[in-house]
Structure 1
Amino acid sequence: MIPALKIMRLTAFASLGVLLILPLAVMAQQATQRSTVLQDAAYQDCLAAVRKNPEEGFAHAQLWQATGGGLPAQHCAALALVELKHYGDAADRLEKLLPLAEKQAPHLTVAILDQAANAWLLAEQPQRARQLLDIALKAAPDTPDLLIDRALASAALNDYAAARKDLDIALSADPTREDALALRASARRQTGDMTGALEDAETALAIQPRLPEALLERGILRLNKGDKRGAREDLIQVRLLAPDTPAAVSAGQYIEQMDVRQD
């Protein structure tokens, strides 16, 4: 059975629209907030094209880049590749943008490091993702989003103790982050802290009762305690709330496991 924290990573990074991976619009907003370089109309037009049709948007960005679009065109092209699920290529392009960003928009570098790390996670290269997040956190220590992303990378490397440490710091800054609570619940379970794991799952669900990752974790914990009825209720909810996701697949596997044991 796949560990729940890995399932959460897969769920979180399954598409740009889910949980922790920054949606395209948010990635762009993050890039433009502190930089005039990416605030021109041409950049916004390129992003609009990517949102409407990623393939056409990528072609638009490539043409713009060839005619002197510079950093904005290259950034738009990389985001288009994320939308097209060419994650490794997108991550590589984002990394290669860093020297240019440092010259033209130094405040943009942490955001691009995080975006590249997220893309490497999508490309199933968690070691590289964690290396980039180490760099980002040196520049922006104790930033909750960066810590959560590094926890996901650590979990993908089966380093649950490191994941838990980062999540502890993130939650000390913002105890209401239900995503971090759900992730820490799994990290705690993986490191043997069942009481703490259930406490985190329950706290996450008190904040967001329909959070699939927290329901999945509580379902697993309930099953481990022998509460099959409670586990089944949680796991069925995961499948209803987040169909066609790795979390739903995992929930289905646990339900099948219970059914087999009853036969």
Structure 2
Amino acid sequence: MLLGGAAAVLIGAVAGAVWLRSPSPPGPPPEAAASAAAPPEPAAPAATSESERCNALLRSDPDAARGFAAQWRSAQGGSAAEQCEALAILALGDPAQAATRLEAIAARGAGDRPTKAALFAQAAQAWLLAGDANRAYGATTLALTLTPEDLELLVDRAVALGTLGRYREALEDLDRVLSLDPDRAEALVFRAAALRQLDRPDMARRDLDRALAIEPDHVEGLLERGILRQLAGDEEGARRDWERVVAIAPGSAAADLAAQNLALSEAGPARR
């Protein structure tokens, strides 16, 4: 039995979903920064008092969650206890160890194919947090061998590919996602970022227009639109987008990047 929603909530809280960074004119755009989008949730198991307790502790007290998981594991808690411990380790700031443990649970064959795929997806998110996009790519690819039509996994792999600068391959995954779900705003935003990196700004703008029509306050979409506006010479439009990101998502990774872009814009070309 594996944990359900806690993994997505935890990883989403630990890392913002951003792999967008403003370029430094007049040179070409730099490579995208690492990011972590929330992974797909495992197939929902029947609730147990142990899993519910772990879910609560992961959100409120990761140290206590790790201690609880160790006791649960000693009492034959199995894969669910091991996953709880791995996620506690992630929350305590050791994503590489967490990723290694999550991969080991999946590799041992715990659960059905969707559950194993979700464990590999969680491992991929942890590898991205650890700054190892190659391992993240490998984990998402393993997950996709188990559930090849999982759109969340395809988005996750595209993020890893974008972080590695493999934008054309990222486009292939995102094109596949959007062929099946044309209104997935997150995929549209990531595809726009990849298109910008490939010097195809008109296509990137079209994707952003669609994404922001679907989700007007999509913070990564606003961040990316600000970058495109700056590249097109629309400094005022870029500033509005970045200020909106800071206002609606304070403390997020997107807001941090938007604030950096605003500071560089105010400093002028000599400081970029």
What range describes the TM-score normalised by the shorter chain of this pair?
A: 0.7 to 0.9
Alpha-carbon contact 1:46-1:57 (below 8 Å) kept: yes
1:211 maps to 218
Tell me, yes or no, if structure 1 residue 42 matches structure 2 residue 50: yes
Counterpart CA distance in 1 for 2:59 and 2:21 is 33
Letter in 2 for 1:119: A
1:3 maps to 21
Alpha-carbon contact 2:70-2:85 (below 8 Å) kept: yes
Counterpart CA distance in 1 for 2:128 and 2:173 is 17
Alpha-carbon contact 2:124-2:139 (below 8 Å) kept: yes
Tell me, yes or no, if structure 1 residue 76 matches structure 2 residue 79: no
Q: CA deviation at 1:141?
A: 1.6
Q: 1:41/1:220 Cα in 2 relative to 1: closer, same or farther (>3 Å)?
A: same
Q: CA deviation at 1:107?
A: 4.1
Q: CA deviation at 1:45?
A: 2.3
Q: Unaligned regions of 5+ residues in structure 1, if any?
A: 14-19
Greater percentage in helix: 1
Counterpart CA distance in 1 for 2:79 and 2:86 is 11
Counterpart CA distance in 2 for 1:110 and 1:227 is 43
Q: Unaligned regions of 5+ residues in structure 2, if any?
A: 1-19, 23-30
1:140 maps to 147
Counterpart CA distance in 2 for 1:62 and 1:53 is 15
Q: 1:51/1:231 Cα in 2 relative to 1: closer, same or farther (>3 Å)?
A: closer
2:192 maps to 185
Aligned length: 243
Length-normalised TM-score, structure 1: 0.84
The higher relative CO (CA closer than 8 Å, separation ≥ 6) is in 2
2:104 maps to 96
Deviations 1:168-190 (A, max 9, x none): 11111111111111111110000
Letter in 2 for 1:212: V
Q: CA deviation at 1:257?
A: 3.2
Length-normalised TM-score, structure 2: 0.82
Deviations 1:206-235 (A, max 9, x none): 111111111111111111111121111111
Alpha-carbon contact 2:113-2:147 (below 8 Å) kept: no
1:16 maps to none
Tell me, yes or no, if structure 1 residue 238 matches structure 2 residue 245: yes
- Percent of residue pairs bearing the same amino acid type: 35
The worse-fitting range, judged by mean Cα deviation, of 232-241 and 53-62 is: 232-241
Counterpart CA distance in 1 for 2:110 and 2:103 is 14
Tell me, yes or no, if structure 1 residue 170 matches structure 2 residue 177: yes
